[in-house]
Structures are given as structure tokens and as C-alpha cells.
Structure 1
Amino acid sequence: MIEYDIVIIGGTAAGRYAALKASQYGAKAALVEPSTNPESICIDALIEITNSLQKLKNSNKFGIYDSHLETQNKYEHTLQWQALIQQILQIESHLGKIDAPAVLSAKGVDIIYGDGKFQAEPNLAFVVNNRQLIGRNYLLANGSIATIPEIEGLSKTGFLTLGNFWQALNVVTPPQDWVIIGGVPQSIELTQILQNFGFNVTLVVQQATIIPFIDEEIAFQLQTQLEASGIRVLTDSEVTQVRLIDGKKWLQVGDKAIETDEIVIVSGQQPNIESLNLAEVGVKWHKNRLLVNRKLQTTHHKIYACGDVIGGYALNNIANYEAQIAVNNALFFKHLQVNYESIPWGILTNPNLAQVGLTEAQAINRYDSSQILILKQYFKTLVSAQISDETTGICKLVILQDGTILGANIIGKNATELINIVTLAIHKKIKVSSLQNLAPIQPSFAEIFAIMANNWQQLRLENSPRWQEFLETLFQFRRERNW
């Protein structure tokens, strides 16, 4: 007998979001939470704090001075690290209460604590604490674990991951020199966080660009900003060996030997599926992801998956989007499909980086290059950027000649907010010409889209002799007849 409409194997924000959606529909849902959740740190909170530090550092540009801070050689001298970490852990606790199991339980979700696994016989079920949970469908939203590269001496020397790096900060005197290995959004965010706190940071990226799948010009701009702030960035570089010499960690990176106090591995994730007995129920995976179709069904039609358990970057907005698709398909008519080209993603660096849809290179690969038009606008042309001293930035729109928006790539202040405007335009098939009608409040960073739409209209006019001739004839006719 089917006990639940959906059984969610969770322990992640996406799992809890899925449980919330199921409860809103009135479905009978179970959420399986692990027995213990490792204590983590809210990296978003750290980013906000470092941004505040940056504003303090730059306040003298506006004639604002802090005599106490002026006496310090480095801003980290003014920080009480243990108090800071405790404050951030408190923020994490408050955020966790928003969709806490107790809240979901009050909405009708059955919360089961424990580590379980699937069984195939006599009926498909998920077994937790010797209890069979039988659902019409199941959703895997149990996240991923860090992938640790095979580097000689790494395990012996010791390293940190995104889940526990903060513990090295939760001491009276934190390490001063850090090496971050990996080219994913979180590695770049962490690199800038540590640098803004005054530490010496080296970022080692194996690929040729600082992060794959983004516009090359935007990637170059991001790397330039990191390097200008004092971060050492090594792209197209591989760590081949790690050793501990006289209490210091040494890394061999290509032909360079780098000395550091701490190493953080943020190079990628692998699905957290080892104990789930998926092979017995016919669920297949390949390397670092579960195999799913566009409806987010695994190779077992009753088992869905969402979030970084199916690969890709560990980004909350994408995981929640997938959770919503999977829950709807599991509960209803299985007709929804994911479309990642209409979903934005970003990196919370300073300045922000955000992207939606196709990059210039991807568009050229898909369409004839003569069909593609690139609109580009620099943030320094905006009044808001000048007022706030946030002039570093570029907005690129990738469009077809008829004005259809294929994608946007932005680096600059509020990029992660601005990208939502383009996302809505792509989703609703709004062409670039309609962006002229935004009439954004002035001054604001959103003005950049109205400027770009005007530039597109001007470009179309310049490239259309017939329109120019028509308009010239029209205005001459009206002037001659005083009409």
C-alpha cells in the first residue's frame, strides 16, 4: 500500500524546499533527514561582511576617515575572529529555522531522521530505521560531498574543504597564507573573502580560464579584479605534490613551489549516494552525477533527483528550480522539463558576476555568426555607478538580428539582481526593443538596459539605408507642408 505521495531523501536546502512545495499542494510527503548534519558556515554572510570591510577601506575616497583603522597595518588586526565566527554561525542558525524540519512538520510533512537505503523487493521502498517508506514517487535531494583530487602527499599534509575551512578561522590567530584549489563559484567567493579579511591568498585553477562556461571577456575581467586586489591567480595549473616542511605546507604547482599555512580544496563535488543502494533499484550514475532526463527522472522512472546530486555547480537557486520541476512531475502529469537557458546563476564576488542563457561563443556555435549581435555597455557610463564609485563592470547582451535575447553576461555592482530582468525577458520572449519601455527609476543600475536598447535601435537605423531614406523623406515632407 502506498503510504506517501512522495518520499524526499533530503538533508539539503533543496530537499526541504521540495518538501515545502509538496505540502503546499496538499500532498502527503515524507522528508528523510540524516541523523546528523555537519556544522557549516554561511558563506553568503561572510561575503556581506567582507563587502562591508571593503566599504570601510574605500570610505576615504568620500572624505570619511576612521582614525582607529588608520593606525592598523591590516584590517584583520581589528577583528575578533571567534566573535565573528560565532555571529555567522548564529546567522546560519536563524536561516535554518526558516525551513527547519519543525516548520515543515507543522505543515504536515512527516520528518524521519536516519540514514536509509532503497530496497527493490517485494516493493520499491526506502528503508529507514527498519521502517519501510513506500511512496508513489521518490526524490533524491541529498546533495553532494567534496571531490578530493589525487595529489601526492595531500592526505598526509592535511587540507580543509568548504565545509570546515571556517574552523581554521575560529582561533585567536588565524593562518595568514592560504592556497585555494579549484575553479568553481564557491572557490572564487572564498578566495575573495579571505583576501578581504587581509590574508595572503593564491587561487590555483586547472582549466585555462578562471571558471568554465562563462563569457571569456567576463572571465578575464573577473580574474583582473581578483589580481588587482592582491590575489595570486594561477590558471592552467595543476598541483602535483604537497609536502610539510618545517611546519609549513609546500605545493608544487607546475614549475612553481608555493609555501602556505593552509590548503582548501574546492574543486568539485560528487553525489552523496554511496549508502543508498541505488544499483539494486536500477538507478545509474556516471562519475560525478546521477543520470536524469529533462523531467529529472533517474533511470528508475519512480525516482527523481535534483540539486548538486545530479552534477553541476552547487547553486541554491538552480537546485530549488530543479526541486520544483521534480515535485510537480512526481505529483502530477510528468510534463515539465528543465530549461537551464532561462535560469540565471551568479558568483557573489565584488563586483558580482551573473549569467543567463547563451554566451557569445555558445551562440556562434548554435547559429550562423551573421545572425548574432553583441550589445555591450560599460558600468562607468551609469550615473549610479559614478555616484557609488562602482564603475568597474560590463553588461553584454547576446541577441539575434531581430532582437530576440539569447543570453546575458554581466560583471559589476548588483549584477546578480540585474540578471533577473534579462531572465524574465528571455522567459517571456520579450525582445530587446521592449527594454526601452522599462523607464527605470533614476539613478539606478537598471538604466543600463534602457541604454542598450536605445543603442540597438540606433544600430538598426544605421544599418538600414531604407529606413534612413524613409525617415529623411518623411521629415522633409512634414517640414515643407508645416505638418
Structure 2
Amino acid sequence: MTKNIIKTDLCVIGGGSGGLSVAAGAVQMGADTVLVEGGKMGGDCLNYGCVPSKALLAAAKHAVALKGAGNFGVQELSPEVNYPAVMKHVEEVIAGIEPHDSVERFEGLGVRVIQGYGKFTAPDCLEVAGHIIKARRFVIATGSSTALPPVPGLSEISYLTNETLFENRQLPDHLIVIGGGPIGMEMAQAHARLGAKVTVLEAFKALSKDDSELTKIALECIREDGVEIKEGVKIAHVAQKGQKSFEITLEEEGEQIKLTGSHVLVAAGRKPNVAGLGLEAAGVETNKAGIIVDNRLRTSNKKIFAIGDVAGGYQFTHIAGYHAGIVIRNILFKLPAKVNYDAVPWVTYTSPELANVGLTEAAARERYDEDQIKVLKFEYAENDRARAELLTTGMIKAIVHKNGKILGAGIVGAQAGELIQPWGLAISSGLKISSMASYISPYPTLGEINKRVAGSFYTPKLFSERTRKVVKFLQRLPF
């Protein structure tokens, strides 16, 4: 059978957020573009990740909306959770966004969309669904998928992942989450708020990539919602005892402890989607993290770029979008655009939210001498808006070089994901802490914590004995 040969300027492999951004941008800027996608358009973010998880978290937030309402003089009510209806809400949110990522929309933009899984047969050829695509440049944006931890028996049970969790229509009696990272903790708290018993099993420390002082506050709140978090555990074995019955054997101090649950969610990391791509034929090198790229996101085959999760490093949708801009500048405009991760933000959407950008305190102390950095802190409890809304659990930390350069910031508390954004702008723009301290913030807002923590950088000098002497001297001078 003769295969159809397609010649094009650009071939994008993967219709997730990064691939779609490249395809849409390239075709609208005049490049002949082909998009190859074997699964669902929109990729993991739309169908299994960011969108459905945040829709579920929103439902869970409403389930406990009146918890503590008595403190406002409002009668507390116990809600009745209709779990299938909750998941219907998740479905509808996805369906509302799907048209934006659909085949029809991209074909309307001028992109040629081929549905199927592609495989390289040569450095400049990709074979897919009866076609041979010969492109001047390729962009691999195939994303990542759930990685199974080396737990005996795990591959033999009917576990859930983020790809199957949102298909479930039965509220778990006891959800056991393997993995205490952002995905695991978000889904654990959401299900606990919806009425399930939840246990999280983490081999090391829960939310270990975030600032430990801020994480402690978040984990305390998650535990208050009923989630049992077991850290530093070793899972000896997992077995399925019935259709909805699982037994997990833990080893603790030489003893074996049995834990039973109705559902098991695996959320213990991600692996790059590189299998079946024929990367050897394309001359593209990989490692355990994914495809090896340089700071321009070029692979070992300079005609092929890789972006997003498959390129290793940060696994965030917004990084895939950022990567898209980098490769468009390189491919379309021949500009040597390079990645810069100094101002990468990340947010865990638990309640309270946990947000970071730039260096954490621990990372800053590894990079700089002790006397070169200042750690500034401000409590939500000192913010008037937080007091008015009883949102006083939280803290902001700013990591600043002694010369005023902002190195990083972390926030745990209400709307942390929104409040962290000015810090990202400040770091990426090279602004100093004086810029954060001197802008006018509306009152009363939670955003004032940014200004207040920045202002504390100058407190020791402003209220020093030297300043007092200078002020007293100036007051004696005539006007």
C-alpha cells in the first residue's frame, strides 16, 4: 500500500497544551503546519489533569462552604453530596473547554490534523496513519503519564490514576492514595471533603518540593479535613481482595500493618511519553527524565525540538506554554531564544493553597552565603481582609539578597496562586524589593501581604537608632 507523502514546514507531535500552542501560533504566523495526535485533543491537562482536578476541588470547596459558618453568625448545615452529580459537573467543565482544543477549531485555523500515533522512520520523516510526513522542523510535545512505583502486587490490581479517577462514579468508602505530591494531596483533600475516608501513603515527605515551613501549615489543614497522611512508609505488598476491596501491607519498624480500602489512587510521579516514537531512527537522545534538550529546546537532532513534560524538568502546563513561545521564536524567526527558569511559579491547589516562585529558602541557602540573604515573613493573621473573612491561616515568605534582589517567594494561604503572581513579574523583570514595597495596594485586600512583607526588608534600618538620630537632627533645622 502506497503511503501518502506530506511535506510541511512544521510537524507538531502531541495535541496537549504545549503542542496546541505551537500549532496555533505557527499556522497563524504563516507556517504550513501539521498536528499529529493519537489520543484526545487537549491532552492530559484538559482531559485528566488541571481542568478536571480543579473542577473537583471546586465542588469539594462548596461541600464544606458552611463549615465554620457559625463564627459569622450563620447556621451551619451538613451538605448532602451527590458524587455522580459532582463528576457530572467535572464532565461539563471539560465539555465547555473542548471546542477550544478541538480538531475542528485547529483545522479552521489552517492546521492539518492527523489523528494517530506517529513514529519516526528517519531524522526528517514521521509515519502516521498511512502518511509519511516530511517536515523541515518537528516539535515533540507528547507529555507524560502516571509512573507506577515499584510496589509488589500493584500492577495486578485495579488501581486508579488521574486518567481513570474522573470516570469513577462511586464515592470511595476509603480512598488510599499512593503518593503525597501535589496531585495526591489535592485529590485526597477533595475526596475527604466530599465524604470519603482518605489515607495518603508517602515514601518520603508529603509536598517535599515546597518550602517545609509553608508545607507544614498546608498539611495541618489537610489533616483537619480528615485526611490521614502517613509519611516515610514502605509498602510491602498490595493485593485485591474483591471488586472494591484492597489490602495494603505496610512495614513499620519491622512489623507488618494491614490497611484496607475500597479504592487505590496511584499518584507517585510521572514518566515521559517517549515509547513508540522511534526516537532512535530520528537520532534523538533520551534519559530517564525524558528527551534531552539544550537551552533552546533542541534535541540532539537540531531539526527536532521537544517541549513540556516530555522534555524533563518542570512538569506544569504553564511551562509547556512557555516552551511553545521559545520554539516558535527559534523555528519561525530564527531567533536563538533560550529558556530561563528563574521565575517559574508553581501552585498546589489544596486548601489553603501553596504557591512558590523562584528559589525556596532552602535552595537560596545552598546557593548563597548565610549573610547574603534575608528571609522576610508576614502572617495572614496580620492582614485586615484576612481577619474580616476569617482566613487567618497562612504566611508569605520572601527570599531577598542583601542588595535587594528578589530571589524567590512562597505563600501558603487563601488565594496563594493569585497572590504569587506579582513576585513572578518582579523576578522576571529584575525588579528589586523596593518595587514591591513602594506600589500602592488597595485596602483591604489579601494582596497587601505582598507589600507588607516587602516593606519589612527596610524595617531594621528605618527604625534604627541611627535613623532616630538623623530625624532628631533634621527636626532642629529651620524650614
- One fold, TM greater than 0.5? yes
Paired residue type of 1:116: G
- 2:199 is aligned to 202
- 1:191 is aligned to 188
Matched, 1:44 2:89: no
Matched, 1:282 2:283: yes
Whole-angstrom distance in 2 between the partners of 1:244 and 1:103: 44
What's the secondary structure of 2:117's corresponding residue? coil
Whole-angstrom distance in 2 between the partners of 1:313 and 1:232: 28
Q: Deviations over 1:46-80 (max 9, x none)?
A: 111112222232333222226xx44xxxx4xx222
Matched, 1:230 2:226: yes
Q: CA RMSD in A?
A: 2.1
Whole-angstrom distance in 1 between the partners of 2:439 and 2:288: 45
Paired residue type of 1:135: A
Q: Deviations over 1:327-373 (max 9, x none)?
A: 22222224111112212111111111111111111111111111010
- TM-score (normalizing by structure 1): 0.91
Whole-angstrom distance in 2 between the partners of 1:426 and 1:236: 35
8 Å Cα contact 2:342-2:428 kept in structure 1 = no
Q: Deviations over 1:106-146 (max 9, x none)?
A: 122111111111121xx611121221222221111111121
Matched, 1:15 2:16: no
Q: Deviations over 1:9-42 (max 9, x none)?
A: 0131221122122233222211112155696471
Question: Please, which of 58, 67, 72 is the counterpart of residue 62 of structure 1?
Answer: 72
Shift of the alpha carbon at 1:158?
A: 2.3
Shift of the alpha carbon at 1:262?
A: 0.8
Shift of the alpha carbon at 1:478?
A: 4.0
Paired residue type of 1:132: I
Count of equivalent residues: 464
- 2:217 is aligned to 221
- 1:154 is aligned to 154
- Larger deviation: 139-148 or 49-58? 49-58
Matched, 1:385 2:418: no
- 2:143 is aligned to 143
Matched, 1:396 2:397: yes
Whole-angstrom distance in 1 between the partners of 2:145 and 2:210: 24
Change (3 A) 1:117 1:440: same
Question: Please, which of 83, 87, 90 is the counterpart of residue 89 of structure 2?
Answer: 87
- 1:5 is aligned to 9
Whole-angstrom distance in 1 between the partners of 2:34 and 2:394: 46
Whole-angstrom distance in 2 between the partners of 1:343 and 1:283: 27
Whole-angstrom distance in 2 between the partners of 1:341 and 1:253: 40
Change (3 A) 1:287 1:478: closer
Whole-angstrom distance in 2 between the partners of 1:98 and 1:11: 12
Structure 1 unmatched ranges of 5 or more: none
Change (3 A) 1:165 1:476: closer
Change (3 A) 1:300 1:472: same
Whole-angstrom distance in 1 between the partners of 2:333 and 2:352: 41
Q: Deviations over 1:238-293 (max 9, x none)?
A: 21201234663111222232111111101111111211100111112112422111
Structure 2 unmatched ranges of 5 or more: none
Question: Please, which of 4, 14, 31 is the counterpart of residue 27 of structure 1?
Answer: 31
- TM-score (normalizing by structure 2): 0.91
Change (3 A) 1:167 1:476: closer
8 Å Cα contact 2:15-2:40 kept in structure 1 = no
Q: Deviations over 1:181-233 (max 9, x none)?
A: 113221111111111111111111112x2123321111222222212222111
Shift of the alpha carbon at 1:457?
A: 1.3
Percent sequence identity over matched residues? 29
